[in-house]
Amino acid sequence: MQRTQPGIAARLARTNPTTVFLVTLLLALVAFFAPGVIGGLFTLLLAGALATLLVTTWSVQTPQTRAIRLIVLTLLVTVGLVKLL
């Protein structure tokens, strides 16, 4: 059986980098400045998207890039959990 739809990596490769950056920046600003539970949930949502991207691209990244991404992911999850409390 053939897959009829391209994977997420192929779809991400075709997106406009400026648009992706601006949308991510907007989500991050909303997540960091929204009060309480809403901000925490948006931050954890952003961390989940980053985790998905990290898992998808893990095999093609250098060890330094992996470490930086894991640090950023840890910081996002920590900020999200702190905002929830």
Residue 73 burial class via C-beta count within 10 angstroms: exposed 0-12, middle 13-18, buried 19 and up: middle
Within 8 A by CB and 6+ apart from 60, the residues are none
Pair 6, 47: CB distance under 8 Å: no
| pTM of the predicted model as reported, rounded to 2 decimal places | 0.72
Residues of the chain with pLDDT under 70: 1-6, 8-9
